[in-house]
Structures are given as structure tokens and as C-alpha cells.
Amino acid sequence: MRGVSIEERAVNLAHYIIDSKDTVRGAAKKFGISKSTVHKDIAERLKKINPALAKDVRVILDENKAERHIRGGMATKRKYGH
């Protein structure tokens, strides 16, 4: 993502998360940046740049947060083959 401004990156991340319903971890991997950078872009920077988009992406992130215990359980089940 070299050459892209921080503001553009935040907006691109938001659109990616909304379109793909991906997690912060997945978005970080896709964009080649850290989870903390994704979180800061979405949680702080995007609110100032585009509050409506920030609200939309927050809905997806809240869904992911609510479901993470289920995904964790499924990963453990796959790992141990139960």
C-alpha cells in the first residue's frame, strides 16, 4: 500500500471489511499491515474522515467480535480433530 495516504488507506480498509465481512486480522494480512494499524485506522482515523462509513464498518466489526468465541471453538475442534 505504498504511495497511498493514511486517509485513503483507512477508507480502503473500511470498504474491504464491509464488502468481505473480514476480520481485523484478515484485513491486516490482506493489506500487509499490523492489526493495530487496521484498528487505529478504523476506530480513530475513519471517524474523522467519514463518520458514516465508520459507523457501517463498526457494525461488521461488532458482529465479528460477537462471533469470535464461536470461530475460536471451531478452530480448536479442527486442530484436535474432534
Q: How much is the mean pLDDT over the chain? A: 91
* For residues 26-35, average pLDDT: 96
Domain ranges of the chain: 6-80
Distance, CA of 40 to chain centre: 10
Q: Which of these, 23, 19, 15, 12, lies nearest to 62 by C-alpha position? A: 23
The pLDDT value given to residue 29 = 97
- The C-alpha cell at 74 is 471451531
Q: The whole model's pTM is what?
A: 0.80
Give yes or no for a contact between 41 and 9, defined as CB atoms under 8 angstroms apart. Answer: yes
Could you give the CA distance from residue 56 to residue 43 in angstroms, rounded to a whole number?
12
Largest CA distance in the chain: 47
